[in-house]
Amino acid sequence: MEPMAPTPEPDRAVYVISVAAELAGVHAQTLRIYERKGLLEPARTPGGSRRYSEIDIALLRRIQELTNEGLNLAGVKRVLDLEQRLIQLEVEMRELRAAANATVMETHRQYRRELVPLQQSVIPWLDPRRGRR
């Protein structure tokens, strides 16, 4: 059995424009248009050639999905920006929830330290003759 070739890291830009276009199912000129419109920013070699990563390919497929649903490129850019913002807000919300939970747990721990066990608490003396304190 032949050893499998290692797969590149998702963010490593390894694909030339023609390969990226083929993988995404679009023409190379379409990738240039997407870049001009700010939808995509491929890495560049020292000589200026574009290089695309697996993340870029996935983004190209998402752009194709949205344009096939009838969005123009301005609409696609807006949707992609909103999706990115949603991801950021979800991360922030998870962090805030974790911080809130930690604060609640610490508050409960403080309460437990401040509570006095019943055996050690002060019990008011009841005068049996008066039926009250």
Residue range 33-77, pLDDT digits in tens = 999 999 999 999 999 999 999 999 999 999 999 999 999 999 999
Q: Considering the domain boundaries, does residue 102 fall inside one?
A: yes
Tally the domains of the chain: 1
Does residue 88 contact residue 96 with C-beta atoms inside 8 Å?
no
Look up the CATH number of the domain holding residue 64: 1.10.1660.10
Most confident range (mean pLDDT) of 84-88, 107-111, 127-131 is 84-88
Containing domain of residue 96, as a range? Answer: 17-114
Q: Considering the domain boundaries, does residue 2 fall inside one?
A: no
Q: Considering the domain boundaries, does residue 95 fall inside one?
A: yes
Q: Considering the domain boundaries, does residue 62 fall inside one?
A: yes
Q: How many CB atoms lie within 10 A of CB 70?
A: 7
What pLDDT, on a 0 to 100 scale, did the predictor assign at position 10?
79
Q: Considering the domain boundaries, does residue 61 fall inside one?
A: yes
Rounded to whole angstroms, the Cα distance separating 131 from 133 reads: 7
